[in-house]
Amino acid sequence: MPKATLTKRLEFCASHRYHNPKWDDAKNKQVFGPCNNEHTHGHNYIIEVTLQGEIDPVTGMIINLYDLKQYLWEVLEQFDHKNLNLDTPYFTTLIPTTENLALTLWKVLEQHPQMPALDRIRLFEDPNLFADVTTELLHGSESSPDSPRASITRRYNFSSAIQDLSGHSTGHNYTTEVTISGTIDPDTGQVVNIDSLDQIVRKGVIERFHQKNVSLDPAFKNTAVTEGNLACFIWGSIAGEFSTGTLTQVTVSEGPDTQAIYRGS
């Protein structure tokens, strides 16, 4: 029978605090910043669950969508409107980062008896930050039960001008997504420190291009300013800057209808 994937998107609310009890207060503040504040903060999480399986010849579906929603809520109700640190059994010793929460949801959903095989869980903490856990990341050669892998994607916006051959400049509002993949650090619960990632992108991309004419930048002296060339340049500017995790993808779009994806050479 033919196979396909199906993605269901749902929203739930939860609060959390990043804190490693093995560290003193100073180190927790240094590593986690505002996420370590004594009072928890909340998020409206959006989860996308992608399943893979055979298409039923009678229904034309992998799984009945009504049933799927019920199965997902059987799991999500354990987290919805909860303090993840205090009200769930999953984060007594595990830091409830976006990566760890996505991984935990994968493990719980994987045990559901009516759930088809999982292909990917994408968890948005907010519109500009999401984590992915996939079959490939969890079962690839570099992963193990003691060192699970995930990816984290951060979204940035900047406005720039581009000059055409006649010398006329037009403005563009760019969105770029930077994806880092790697082992979830057991001490931080993160693939990469988000503050460090922000600093790297701010220095290598935002400060260089925001409210600037990109056509006048030396990197584009003999190269057209396209989404693809920008993605390639951003990759080259930041790829060697990470102490943890590996840059795996850069996406650039100048509008909702097109995007360029660069994954290295």
Nearest to 88 by CA among 71, 107, 70, 116: 107
Nearest to 224 by CA among 158, 151, 232, 180: 232
Q: For residue 106, give the amino acid letter.
A: W
Four-CA torsion 251, 256, 257, 262, nearest 10 degrees = 0
Which pairing describes strands 149-163 and 212-213: parallel, antiparallel, or unpaired?
A: parallel
Which tokens go with 102?
């996505």
Q: Are 156 and 206 in contact (CB under 8 A)?
A: yes
Query: Which amino acids are annotated catalytic?
Result: 35, 81, 125
**Residue 63 pairs with which residues in a beta bridge?**
none
- Angle subtended by helix axes 65-76 and 98-110, to nearest 10: 120
Strands (E), 112-230: 117-126, 129-134, 149-163, 169-183, 212-213
Q: Are 212 and 156 in contact (CB under 8 A)?
A: no
DSSP per residue, 15-43: EE----TTS-HHHHHHHHGGGG-SS-EEE
Which pairing describes strands 258-262 and 246-255: parallel, antiparallel, or unpaired?
A: antiparallel
Longest dimension (CA), the chain: 64
Coil vs helix vs strand at 111: coil
